[in-house]
Amino acid sequence: MIVVCQETFERNFKKYFHSVKHCDILNLGGRKVYIMNIGERIKDRRTELRLTLDDVAKTAGVGKATICRYEKGEIVNIPSDRIERIAKALKCTPAFLMGWEEYPTDTTKLMALYDRLNDEGKKRLLEYADDLVQSKKYTEHDISEVV
């Protein structure tokens, strides 16, 4: 289960989650707090990627009814190896599904950080990234030119 305050939700999560209908909302001292469990995170990520229950179920090695029961919160004790397979199907980390990380992938984290920068910061980040790629020390593939 992940608990975040309204400001954190609006700053980080809103762009990744299509709605707050899957969240429980608590009012703590005038602040809204959104609570998402693993099933809600699975469903949000699956719909974000436009995957069907069957798509996720096949990769995870379970029936689509099982994935549906996870999403509805009918099954809450999901084996760790199954969480890993579900995360793979959803192109995210198990830690994201568990609520231990804010972002589903490093790419979305990088995009969120980039969005928070001013124009000068964005320019410097792109220059730094270009320098890293050009050095070839930090690239995974032989890239002759990046557009």
Determine the pLDDT at residue 59: 94
C-alpha 106 chain-centroid distance:
9
Per-residue pLDDT in tens (0 to 9) along the chain, 147 residues: 444 444 555 555 544 444 444 455 555 566 655 567 899 999 999 998 999 999 999 999 999 999 999 999 999 889 999 999 999 999 999 988 988 887 787 888 888 888 889 999 999 999 999 999 898 888 886 555 444
Is the backbone of residue 64 left (phi > 0), alpha (psi -120 to 50) or beta? alpha
Domain 2-106: which topology? 434 Repressor (Amino-terminal Domain) (1.10.260)
Q: Domain-by-domain residue ranges, the chain? A: 2-106, 117-147
- C-alpha–C-alpha distance, residues 1 and 98, integer Å: 7
- C-alpha–C-alpha distance, residues 104 and 62, integer Å: 22
Residue from 36, 44, 35 nearest 108 by CA: 44
CA distances from 53 to 22, 46, 57, 74, 89 (A): 17, 8, 6, 15, 11
Residue from 79, 47, 38, 43 nearest 62 by CA: 79
Determine the pLDDT at residue 101: 81
Q: State the angle between helix axes of 38-48 and 53-60 in degrees (0 to 180), rounded to the nearest 10.
A: 110
Determine the pLDDT at residue 107: 83
